[in-house]
Amino acid sequence: MMLGLSIYVYEHRRKLPDTMGKWKKWGPFVLMVIASILVNLDPLRHVLQDLEIWESPGSSEYRQKCHIEKFRCLSPLGWWMTVVMTYTGFTLLLVAAFWNANIMDKCSAIKTQWNALRGKK
């Protein structure tokens, strides 16, 4: 899914003119690729753990003596992977998607049209 989103953003950005600057043209794609990596790190940890490549307790998401799956029982790695990496990845995904869709300009156009319909400047 994340690969598909990255390809979609790449194809959309590829068609834009080079005169708009590298970051403005490729920024959403870069953010989407970073988001894809961050979102998939925790599932990768699970796969490596299941294949016994990355063994417990070093790969454990939860602390050894805490037997409930709540935030308070997350190990430092669990906090890092689950909270920091995954949530940062989804935030970057949202920013990249909005940037690629040019949401801010569209919202500005809606505001301008709204004010014009109401007789405001």
Question: With 90 as the cut, is the pLDDT of residue 39 above it?
Answer: yes
State residue 121's pLDDT score: 67
Which of 21-25, 60-64, 71-75, 76-80 is least confident? 60-64
Amino acid in the structure at residue 13: R
Asked whether the CA dihedral 98, 102, 105, 107 is positive or negative, the reply is negative
- Cβ contact 63:74 at 8 Å: yes
3-state SS string over 9-39?
HHHHHHCCCHHHCHHHHHHHHHHHHHHHHHH
- HSE of 79 in the Cβ direction (CA atoms, 13 Å)? 7
Average pLDDT of the residues of the chain: 86
**How many Å is the Cα radius of gyration of the chain?**
21
Query: Rounded to 5 degrees, what are φ and ψ at 70?
Result: -125, 165
State residue 59's pLDDT score: 67
Q: What is the C-alpha separation between 100 and 8, in angstroms, rounded? A: 10
State residue 91's pLDDT score: 96
Question: With 80 as the cut, is the pLDDT of residue 69 above it?
Answer: no
Domain boundaries of the chain, sorted by first residue: 2-117
| pLDDT, tens only, 83-100 | 899 999 999 999 999 998
Question: With 80 as the cut, is the pLDDT of residue 27 above it?
Answer: yes
